[in-house]
Amino acid sequence: MSVRTRFAPSPTGYLHVGGARTALFNWLYARKHGGQFILRIEDTDAARNTEEARQAIFDGMSWLGLDWDEGPDSGGDLRSPSSSSSYYQSQRKPIYDAYFEKLLAADRLYKDGDATRFRFDRKPITMHDLVCGEVTIDYRDESNTPDMVVKRSDGSYVFHFVNVVDDLEMKITHVIRGEDHLMNTPKHLQLIEALGSQPPQYAHIPLILNPDGSKMSKRDAGAAVGDYPRQGFLSEAVVNFIALLGWSSKSDEEIFTLTELIDRFSLEAINRAPARFDIEKCKWVNQQHIAKISTEKFADLAKPFVEAEKLPITENYAAVIAAVKEKVRLLTEVPAAIDFLITDTAAQDAEAVAKAKGNPNSAFLPMLADHMATLTDWSADIAKEAIASVAQANGAKPGQLMFPVRVALSGRAHGPDLGDVFVILGKERTLARLRSF
């Protein structure tokens, strides 16, 4: 039987990291096993659903590269073995009604006021979760497990019922979802048994905690997937980072492309312990991905950020961008990392400037400029040799001149390799900045 997984978000807020991780794990499992990944929108709570939230799910998943085989706008209905024509729960009421009739025929429903309750089978129910292991709920203890409402007095069905019906109808083989649903699962098994069907396999993935140990909430920084693109993250880095929330490769390796993740992913390697969300780690992962991509791709991705800061895309943009590729963690850091290479009016770091001006080796800068002025060729090596010979002539070490030279050229204490700076600025601008410092 071919693997079929699903992501079943409720469109009530934005797509958050926890939801994206659920989507990713289901997607990875389906892709790894050559199965299908289904997107189902659990939009039965009309009062809380919004069009923006629905759009945020689509946008977030597309940005992350998580395509679905069946779901809204995919025409998946044609490939689906189910009779349904919709992947929106709000449009599947006739299907739920039919299943409700089945439970009625099986004598498992009874009226309680205007609501309808499902009669639990009074026996222990044990589930074998692929991550959490065996979990048993003893339904003989009626006071702890009262029969559950499946249809409310207003005629609407509860989450447990529609969720189970859809998993059966859509022939889902593996339900991978957050641990907050673990204790719901025995209820789902009760319903499935009463409907005379076989349950899917379940894998409940660990909670995500903030670095301080508190449960991550929708308001925490980094919670909204939609914020990541404008904060300068690469989608493949975010996917990689999200994969590491509760899963590890069981090796020292942590940096993976989506294709590598498909190859490595397994449910067995999901941790039981809660995952720690650390945005600094995400920035580090981002830096690793920036280092891995081609300079062309990096230049393209960085361009909108550079333009947003009103910096011109100069003729030597490719060389400028290459100089900082291994230096930045986020695309948003690119403008401030390259501005001094592009304009003469970039903001300076006052502290670094003051420190360099107070450095006795700054006295050699005019001499260095004079020496460089005599050079007929210009390259990183030639410029560095010039520093070495001026240092030597003054009884200093070349390294001692590097700091004032860097600050004179860039206005800051850190930045790209000085050799790159010499080449990109060219001889004339290098001399001018050394002289005017």
Q: Is 9 in the site for ligand GLU (CB under 6 A)?
A: yes
Residue 8 found at the interface with ligand GLU (CB under 6 A): yes
Please provide residue 239's backbone torsions phi and psi, each rounded to the nearest 5 degrees. -60, -45
150/175 with CB nearer ligand GLU: 175
User: What is the rounded CA–CA span in Å between residue 393 and residue 244?
Assistant: 54
Catalytic residue among 123, 215, 218, 397: 218
**Residue 49 touching ligand GLU (CB under 6 A):** no
Question: To the nearest whole angstrom, how small is the minimum distance from the Cβ of residue 206 to ligand GLU?
Answer: 15
Q: Which residues pair with 88 in a beta bridge?
A: 41
Position among 16, 42, 233, 285 found at the interface with ligand GLU (CB under 6 A) = 42
DSSP 16: B
Q: Which of residues 183-242 bind ligand GLU (CB under 6 A)?
A: none
Site for ligand GLU contains 173 (CB under 6 A): no
Residue 201 φ/ψ, nearest 5 degrees: -90, 150
Q: Give the torsion through C-alpha atoms of 308, 310, 312, 313, to 10 deg.
A: 0
Beta-carbon count within 10 A of 60 CB: 25
Residues whose CB falls within 8 Å of the CB of residue 105, separated by 6 or more in sequence, listed in order: none
Stretch near ligand GLU under the rule CB under 6 A, chosen from 3-11, 79-87, 356-364, 392-400: 3-11
Tokens standing for residue 370: 């004079």
Cβ at position 34, least distance to ligand GLU in Å: 22
User: Which of 4-12, 281-289, 381-389, 390-398 is the region at the interface with ligand GLU (rule: CB under 6 A)?
Assistant: 4-12
H helix count then E strand count, the chain: 16, 11
Question: Could you tell me if 269 and 249 are in contact, meaning their C-beta atoms sit under 8 angstroms apart?
Answer: yes
Binder to ligand GLU among 32, 117, 181, 327 (CB under 6 A)?
Answer: 181
Region from 2-10, 106-114, 241-249, 257-265 binding ligand GLU, contact rule CB under 6 A? 2-10
**Where does residue 94 fall: left (phi above 0), alpha (psi -120 to 50 degrees), or beta otherwise?**
alpha
Q: Which of 5, 36, 49, 163 binds ligand GLU (CB under 6 A)?
A: 163
Q: Does residue number 44 form part of the binding site for ligand GLU (CB under 6 A)?
A: no
Q: Provide, rounded to whole angstroms, the least separation between the CB of residue 92 and ligand GLU.
A: 14
Q: Which stretch binds ligand GLU (CB under 6 A): 5-13, 270-278, 287-295, 407-415?
A: 5-13
Backbone φ and ψ of 391, nearest 5°: -60, -50
Closest to 413 in 3D by CA, of 350, 319, 323:
350
Active site residue 218: yes
What lies within 8 Å, CB to CB, of 368 at 6+ separation is: 386, 387, 390, 401, 405, 434
CB of 59 to ligand GLU, least distance (A): 17
Task: Give the interface size with ligand GLU as a residue count (CB under 6 A).
Answer: 8
Give the pair of three-digit tokens for residue 422.
């010499």
CB of 118 to ligand GLU, least distance (A): 17
Q: Could you say which residues in the range 297-326 bind ligand GLU, by CB under 6 A? A: none
Amino acid at 250: K
Q: Which of 16, 92, 174, 177 binds ligand GLU (CB under 6 A)?
A: 177
Question: Order of strands across the sheet with 115-118?
Answer: 109-112, 115-118, 148-151
Pick 66 or 372: Cβ nearer ligand GLU: 66
Residues labelled catalytic: 218
| Binding residues for ligand GLU (CB under 6 A) | 8-10, 42, 163, 175, 177, 181
